[in-house]
């Protein structure tokens, strides 16, 4: 029965004329790259010439937001088009069923079995590569991924090609889950994606370009460290900024290969980050386990803008709106829908993302009035792990509310007046706080009522 539903669904979303242009699409995903640390974002320290060129010759959204300040749920949105709270709600119910059936005797085996089960849950979802296949796209996975082998996510080729005990022999369980062999992408080699490009010939392709950069381990090439070595900045800043430049240089090598293969001309390049990071140039985090692992206190895993905010870039040769810069609120759920639009795939009705294409092309203005996200076990001041808690982030053009109900934690910031969130004002805006809380509660209830699969 499931196979019949899948076949009908994929047929329906593909019902556009195949005469329409089908451009190649590359989704470029930075890993733990904080929003201020780019030249095109007016940073005069961090060197990112390749990304600067993409932004200056493309369309830049300076106020993009990921759906989670942690990599795995954020990447799941890019892969499925749904919010983490929807994915987790389904996953939690399935894990409960799995645990009730698990006959393993030891707790260690139970935990490992549950982790392996979650590692394959993506097979239950309709993914971006599967939808693009209806338009004859061939797809490649490289880098951070988290969802088992590349085939499980619907890719035709990729670097994450092992699962289970075989993989655990070579990697710590977290690295095995995050991508295994795929984590070598760009850090050690880009040859697999070059081989893929050499094989696809004239057919359209989709590439998941997601090096684990500038993510830890912080081991940048020495020539990139030298760029920052004599600057009056902290040691951890020197290393982290060199990691950002390493991502940029690797991306440049990839784009040059596309160009040499005469495949760049018909390719849409889309850049986004999986989640944020905070590394003030004057603060050293080297000797702090929390800050060297998660970045500054307002970065990764937190509810602050440093955790969620990301620049988003669209760049392609036939773009007429080159150099445009937008401050519109946009979410990464919109990237999924936009890719479908460019590929000529009909948007499934259960997806909530808006296509950014009219805005990219300068033909129509779209903007969200608010973005609400949730984070499991969010990082709050004094407690980086906050186990068994759920946190919410509410972001509008003006307000940013951070709320962890069961920790009695709430903070409010006026983003227009205070973009770096240094002046907490919840006590002087009690009515605003209560109104926003009500909006969050309503959103939480409504989104969990929505389908996440086609009927």
- pLDDT, average across residues 249-255: 98
Query: What is the band of 158 on the pLDDT scale with cuts at 50, 70, 90?
Result: very high
pLDDT band of 453, cuts 50, 70, 90: confident
Q: How confident is the model at residue 179, as a pLDDT?
A: 84
Q: Which residue has the higher pLDDT, 229 or 289?
A: 229
pLDDT at 393 > cutoff 50:
yes
Please, are residues 60 and 325 in contact by the beta-carbon 8 Å criterion?
Answer: yes
List pLDDT tens digits, range 34-82.
Answer: 999 999 999 999 999 999 999 999 999 999 999 999 999 999 999 999 9
Per residue in 169-181, pLDDT (tens digit) is 888 878 888 888 8
Residue 105: its pLDDT value, please?
66
Exposed e or buried b for every residue in 408-437, given b needs 16+ CB within 10 A? ebbbbbebeeeeebeeeebeeeeebbeebb
Q: For the stretch 108-136, what's the b/e string if a residue is b when 16 or more beta carbons lie within 10 angstroms of its beta carbon?
A: eeeebeeebbbbebbeebbbbbbbbbbbe
Instruction: Give the pLDDT score at 6.
Output: 54
Whether pLDDT at 16 is above 60: no
Which residue would you say has higher pLDDT here, 102 or 347? 347
C-alpha span between 142 and 140 (Å, rounded) = 7
pLDDT band at 276 (very low <50, low <70, confident <90, very high): very high
What residue ranges define each of the domains in the chain, with the CATH number in brackets? 2-16+23-368 (3.40.720.10)
What value does the mean pLDDT take over residues 103-107?
Answer: 74
C-beta of residue 128 within 8 angstroms of C-beta of residue 347: no
| pLDDT at position 1 | 44
pLDDT at 139: 98
Predicted pLDDT at 97: 81
Q: Kindly tell me if the per-residue pLDDT of 8 is higher than 50.
A: no
Please compute Rg for the chain using Cα positions. Answer: 21
Q: What is the mean pLDDT of residues 259-272?
A: 96
Indicate whether 407 pLDDT > 50.
Answer: yes
Residue 152 has pLDDT above 70, yes or no: yes
If pLDDT is split at 50, 70 and 90, which confidence band does 447 have?
A: very high
Note the pLDDT tens digit of each residue in 316-365.
999 999 999 999 999 999 999 999 999 999 999 999 999 999 999 998 77
Q: How much is the pLDDT for 18?
A: 39
Mean pLDDT, rounded, of the chain: 91
pLDDT band, residue 112 (cuts 50/70/90) = confident
Tell me whether residue 283 is exposed, middle or buried, using C-beta atoms within 10 angstroms of its C-beta: 0 to 12, 13 to 18, 19 or more. middle
């Amino acid at each position: 029965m499931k196979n019949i539903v899948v076949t009908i669904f994929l047929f329906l979303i593909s019902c556009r004329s195949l005469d329409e242009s089908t451009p190649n699409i590359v989704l470029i995903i930075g890993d733990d790259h904080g929003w201020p640390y780019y030249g095109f974002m007016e940073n005069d320290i961090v060197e990112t010439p390749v990304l600067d060129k993409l932004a200056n010759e493309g369309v830049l959204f300076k106020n993009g937001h990921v759906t989670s300040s942690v990599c795995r749920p954020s990447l799941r949105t890019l892969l499925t088009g749904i919010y983490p709270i929807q994915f987790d709600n389904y996953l939690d119910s399935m894990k409960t069923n799995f645990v009730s059936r698990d006959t393993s005797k030891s707790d260690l085996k139970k935990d490992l079995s549950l982790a392996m089960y979650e590692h394959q849950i993506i097979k239950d979802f309709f993914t971006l590569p599967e939808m693009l296949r209806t338009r004859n796209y061939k797809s490649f996975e490289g880098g951070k991924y988290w969802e088992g082998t590349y085939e499980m996510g619907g890719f035709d080729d990729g670097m994450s090609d092992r699962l289970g005990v075989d993989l655990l022999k070579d990697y710590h369980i977290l690295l095995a889950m995050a991508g295994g062999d795929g984590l070598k992408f760009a850090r050690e080699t880009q040859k697999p994606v070059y081989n893929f490009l050499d094989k696809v010939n004239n057919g359209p392709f989709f590439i998941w370009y997601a090096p684990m950069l500038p993510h830890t381990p912080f081991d940048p090439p020495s020539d990139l460290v030298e760029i920052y070595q004599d600057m009056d900045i902290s040691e951890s800043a020197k290393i982290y900024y060199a990691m950002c430049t390493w991502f940029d240089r690797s991306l440049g090598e990839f784009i040059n290969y596309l160009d040499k293969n005469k495949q760049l001309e018909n390719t849409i390049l889309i850049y986004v980050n999986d989640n944020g990071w905070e590394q003030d140039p004057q603060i050293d985090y080297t000797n702090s386990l929390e800050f060297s692992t998660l970045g500054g206190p307002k970065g990764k895993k937190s509810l602050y803008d440093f955790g969620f905010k990301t620049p988003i870039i669209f760049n392609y040769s036939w773009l007429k709106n080159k150099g445009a810069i937008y401050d519109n609120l946009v979410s990464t759920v919109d990237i999924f829908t936009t890719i479908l639009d460019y590929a000529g795939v009909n948007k499934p009705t259960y997806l909530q993302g808006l296509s950014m294409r009219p805005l990219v092309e300068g033909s129509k203005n779209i903007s969200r009035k608010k973005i609400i996200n949730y984070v499991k076990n969010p990082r709050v001041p004094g407690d980086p792990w906050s186990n068994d808690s759920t946190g919410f982030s509410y972001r509008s053009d003006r307000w940013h509310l951070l709320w962890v109900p069961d920790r009695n934690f709430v903070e409010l910031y006026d983003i227009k007046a205070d973009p770096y969130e240094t002046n907490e004002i919840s006590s002087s805006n009690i009515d605003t706080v209560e109104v926003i809380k009500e909006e969050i509660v309503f959103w939480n209830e409504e989104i969990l009522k929505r389908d996440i699969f086609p009927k």
